[in-house]
Amino acid sequence: MRELKILAVVVVLTLITYWGVEPFAHSQMHPHVDPVNYNFEESDRTTSKEAVEKAQKALAEAEKKADEKAIKGAKADLEAALTFEKTINAFWDANKAAITATPNVANGEALVTANCTACHSIESKGFPKLMDDASTAGAYGVATPDLGSAGKLYSKDYLIAFINNPALASKVSHKFTDGRAHPMPSYELMNTPQEVADMVAYLQSIAPKEMTNKEVFADACQRCHGIKYADMQKGTMGAFSPDADIKKYMGKLPPDLSQYIISRGPDYLGKFINDPQKLLEGTAMPRVGLNQESQEQVIKYMEEIGASKKAEREELGPKFLIYLVIFAIFAFLWKASKWRDVH
């Protein structure tokens, strides 16, 4: 009975740690983050409002403590939050005209050909790359994407927003201050809402109906991130942009994603891809802007490469636990039969 009592104490302490201490520690180290939201307008309006409320709360706490230095910093943060809230709300208000317009695909084809193919390829429509990836990365900081799949990967609303103002749409406007401009120009002043709607309609019309998980990953992520475990021998799954160029553009070298599905997990990756600022405020990583289907395909591909044995592990887990229980029972019975006289 002594051994059973010891086992019971160990089990109880383990359960207390697992169901009590661990969740508390997790809540402190990983505060709650709003779930994935593919309605980017709604998400931006909500997060900007929350940022203002957070800044107001910080100012109130600083004033309560009568800390002049903290008050000055809190006032500056609040002013910045209010300014950004006004900016982002005006941005999405301005996008509505293009979002609600009735598009003309033929006119969109002419506009895309005239405005986009100098920097972007559309291989499926006979517009090849004018420069290789290394050259475009050297010129713009990052290799430019082929637009043939854009209408498949992204929603209409996001494409309209990105064409109008790439920095605001991808939530990296904090990087482009003091005269520094996003490598893709904003078209909100160069094209009318109707023209932007036409361009997006054309991109949607030429988009493939189906794409493999690998193809979605390549078009959505591989300009900056490699996933080298996918092809260790030939090395075809490295990032398209050279390390030196992308490091200069992003501020640091984007990581290889081969094992990120293991180190971060699907839930974290889903939230981070959808809105990096929620988890890492101030990061240079842009909001990718993928629609739900495309984002799920990216995560699925990362699972295929980084967690290819996941199904086998999950199948083996219960069997291993059953084995441990049976082994413990036999060990206890053997000890009881052999060492009874010793005790």
Buried (b) or exposed (e) across 19-39, using 16+ Cβ within 10 A? eeeeeeeeeeeeeeeeebbbe
Q: What is the pLDDT of residues 53-86, one digit of tens each?
A: 999 999 999 999 888 999 999 999 999 999 999 9
Confidence of residue 93 (pLDDT cuts 50, 70, 90): very high
CB-based contact 37:158 (threshold 8 Å): no
10 vs 223, residue with greater confidence: 223
Phi-psi region of 100 (alpha: psi -120 to 50; beta: other; left: phi over 0): alpha
Distance CA 62, CA 233 (A): 57
User: Rg of the chain over CA atoms, in angstroms?
Assistant: 26
Write the CB contacts of 270 (distance below 8 Å, at least 6 apart in sequence): 36, 295, 299
Closest among 31, 63, 85, 14 to 268, alpha carbons compared? 31
Q: Which two tokens stand for residue 308?
A: 């290819």
* DSSP conformational letter for 309: T
Q: What is the pLDDT of residues 209-264, one digit of tens each?
A: 999 999 999 999 999 999 999 988 787 889 999 999 999 999 999 999 999 999 99
Closest among 195, 194, 135, 154 to 40, alpha carbons compared? 154
Cα end-to-end span (Å), the chain: 12
Compute the half-sphere exposure of residue 202: CA atoms within 13 Å on the CB side of its CA. 22
Distance CA 221, CA 257 (A): 10
Question: Could you give phi then psi for residue 173, rounded to 5 degrees?
Answer: -65, -25
Predicted pLDDT at 20: 73
Q: Cα torsion at 110, 116, 119, 123 (round to 10°)?
A: -60
Predicted pLDDT at 318: 87
Predicted pLDDT at 342: 61
Write the CB contacts of 168 (distance below 8 Å, at least 6 apart in sequence): 87, 88, 91, 161
Question: Could you give phi then psi for residue 217, rounded to 5 degrees?
Answer: -60, -45
Question: Could you give phi then psi for residue 178, rounded to 5 degrees?
Answer: 55, 40
pLDDT at 2 over 80: no
Distance CA 160, CA 196 (A): 6
CB-based contact 248:256 (threshold 8 Å): no
Q: Which two tokens stand for residue 216?
A: 């979605």
pTM here? 0.84
